[in-house]
């Protein structure tokens, strides 16, 4: 069993800017996982954007707190706490924090089968 806390040294050492907007950390990744690509947490400040991009793996964005506008290919939708967004492999996706407080998301990614 491996247990990681978002405040663990192993997590904090992975801090990076995700696609131009969010401050993110890898909670679990290829250093420990076998089949799943990664589990990350990201914080997106008001007015900031995770810029449109395409990933080579399937992803799920889970909104923990805050709100935003999610775009997957040509679809746009307002999202908030408790929403899970499935992003198919090869889809262009972006998230804009259109609220007045930080938006926190969990991202799970898995290679295509």
Residue 112 pLDDT > 90: no
Average pLDDT over residues 14-43: 93
Give φ, ψ of 94 to 5 degrees: -155, 155
CATH classification (class only), 9-104: mainly beta
Question: What gap in Å lies between CA 104 and CA 66, rounded to an integer?
Answer: 6
- Cβ neighbours for 19, distance < 8 A, ≥ 6 positions apart: 50, 51, 53, 94
Residue 23 pLDDT > 70: yes
Residue 93 pLDDT > 80: yes
- The pair of structure tokens assigned to 94 is 């972006």
List the chain domain ranges.
9-104
**Could you report the per-residue pLDDT of 63-90, keeping only the tens digit for each?**
999 999 999 999 999 999 999 999 999 9
**Could you report the per-residue pLDDT of 34-56, keeping only the tens digit for each?**
889 999 999 999 999 999 999 99
Answering whether pTM is above 0.75, one says yes
């Amino acid at each position: 069993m491996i247990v990681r806390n978002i405040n663990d040294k192993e997590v904090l050492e992975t801090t990076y800017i995700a696609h131009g907007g969010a401050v993110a950390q890898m909670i679990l990744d290829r250093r420990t996982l076998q089949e799943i690509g990664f589990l990350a947490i990201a914080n997106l400040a008001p007015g900031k954007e995770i810029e449109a991009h395409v990933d080579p793996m399937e992803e799920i964005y889970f909104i923990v707190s805050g709100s935003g506008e999610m775009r997957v290919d040509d679809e746009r939708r307002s999202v908030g706490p408790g929403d899970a967004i499935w992003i198919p492999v090869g889809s262009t996706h972006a998230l804009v924090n259109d609220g007045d407080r930080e938006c926190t998301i969990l991202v799970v990614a898995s290679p295509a089968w």
